[in-house]
Amino acid sequence: MKKRIRIVKIVIILVACLIFTLFNILASIIYSQAFGRVEGFPKNEFTTYITWEEIDQGRYSREEVNFLSGKNKLQGFIYGGSNSRGLVVISQGLGGTADDYFSMIMYFVDSGWRVFAFNNTGVSGSEGKSVRGLTQSLLDLDAALTFIKNRNGFNSLPIMLAGHSWGGYAVCSVLNYGHHDIKAVVSFAGFNKGSEVMTEVGVAEGGKSFYIVSPQFWAIEKIMFGDAAKLTAVDGINKSGIPVMIVQSSNDHVIPAGTTSIYAHRLEIANPNAEIIFRDGEDAAGHEFVFCSKDQKMYLIETLKSWEAYKAGHSNASKYKWAEEINFDKALANELDADLMARIDRFFSAAVKK
């Protein structure tokens, strides 16, 4: 009888180990698929974004630099090399590249700021087999700021951070470290913590069954990122005490205002120098274009309808040809909200004077 009980116990242990192993494998597969590499704009495809080839490269000349984040060499760009008001470091969103932010880069350069934008691990010209995960943007920004600190020509400039989504989380959570001299931060549609986003997306995609494999996800995060995986944007905001501006749109369906966003945790913010801009009503600009104008939003809505109609009437429809026929206006398609950007410019200027 005792022998049979021992056999049953062994079988139960083996089955449990097998299930645990299968869950680990499943979690690893899902994780790797969710965070693959991101490449730049294909040269043979039309994009609504402004590309490097299309801007005035004399007016917005750039210097390419490289720096290490872990074992990977990352690609960065310096714009407005002779500007001296301060340095604005732009941290990108997930799924895009540093080149997605040319409208913002050009705005800051025209306003007298020097700009440093870079591609995160696994993005475009940066090394890495994948973007690794949501915490990686924090590690890459930390590496970028370390590079800036050690580079001649940067060390005398006051440093501002501006980040969007993935980068909106990074520019606030990096403040937890305390070893970078940051004067002010603007976070566009940033999330508070990576695990909150993963849980929300996991439950939305897989239902409550996601909770069965969620411990494996947290184990992967811990192995990959260590204690950095615990850091939150709100903790960084509170720890730093510096001026921080949170910009959130009510109709953001990627980082919702009521759940995973920094804005959703606004009552936890104790930093007296933090301020919130909530874009609601006709000013609501969604997630991807949270810093853009109302005219930009309406233009993209109308041109999307035009493209759908064009596709329906043409076999093998070419976006290039369609854009040429309607005289697609890239300047309008990427137009920033002038009042918002002017407010940010004043916000940065005030921080420099403190």
Is the same domain home to 172 and 160?
A: yes
Residue 162 domain flag: yes
Is the same domain home to 209 and 71?
A: yes
Is the same domain home to 218 and 147?
A: yes
Residue 12 domain flag: no
What element of type H or E holds 276?
strand 274-279
Mean pLDDT, residues 100-124: 97
Is the same domain home to 218 and 321?
A: no
Specify the higher pLDDT residue, 273 or 15: 273
Measured between alpha carbons, how far is 296 from 189 in angstroms, rounded to an integer?
18
CATH number of domain containing 161: 3.40.50.1820
Domain that holds residue 318: 293-333
Measured between alpha carbons, how far is 247 from 41 in angstroms, rounded to an integer?
27
Is the same domain home to 287 and 300?
A: no
pLDDT digits (tens, 9 = 90+) for 117-167: 999 999 999 999 999 999 999 999 999 999 999 988 787 899 999 999 999
pTM value is 0.91
Is the same domain home to 94 and 200?
A: yes
182-188: strand order across its sheet: 62-69, 72-79, 114-119, 87-91, 159-164, 182-188, 244-249, 274-279
The pLDDT of residue 206: 74
Answer whether 170's CB lies under 8 Å from 138's CB: yes
Residue 169 domain flag: yes
Look at residue 29 and tell me whether its pLDDT is greater than 60. Answer: no
Residue 176 domain flag: yes
Is the same domain home to 155 and 172?
A: yes
pLDDT digits (tens, 9 = 90+) for 251-305: 999 999 999 999 999 999 999 999 999 999 989 999 999 999 999 999 999 999 9
154: its two tokens: 């940067």
Residue 89 domain flag: yes
User: Among candidates 251, 263, 259, 332, which has minimal Cα distance to 288?
Assistant: 251
Look at residue 25 and tell me whether its pLDDT is greater than 90. Answer: no
The pLDDT of residue 32: 52
The pLDDT of residue 121: 97
87, β-bridge pairs: 114, 159
141: its two tokens: 């920004």
Specify the higher pLDDT residue, 354 or 84: 84
Residue 42 domain flag: no
Chain-centroid distance of CA 109 in Å reads 21
In this structure, is the dihedral angle defined by the CA atoms of residues 131, 137, 141 and 142, taken in order, positive or negative? negative
User: Among candidates 49, 50, 107, 121, which has minimal Cα distance to 79?
Assistant: 107
Residue 44 domain flag: no
Is the same domain home to 346 and 327?
A: no
Measured between alpha carbons, how far is 19 from 212 in angstroms, rounded to an integer?
11
Is the same domain home to 218 and 308?
A: no
What is the length of the chain? 354
| Number of domains into which the chain is organized | 2
Is the same domain home to 325 and 262?
A: no
Is the same domain home to 85 and 228?
A: yes
Residue 55 domain flag: yes
Q: Give 52-58's long-range contacts (Cβ < 8 A, gap of 24+).
A: 52/99, 52/102, 54/330, 55/102, 55/106
Is the same domain home to 288 and 329?
A: no
Measured between alpha carbons, how far is 169 from 265 in angstroms, rounded to an integer?
13
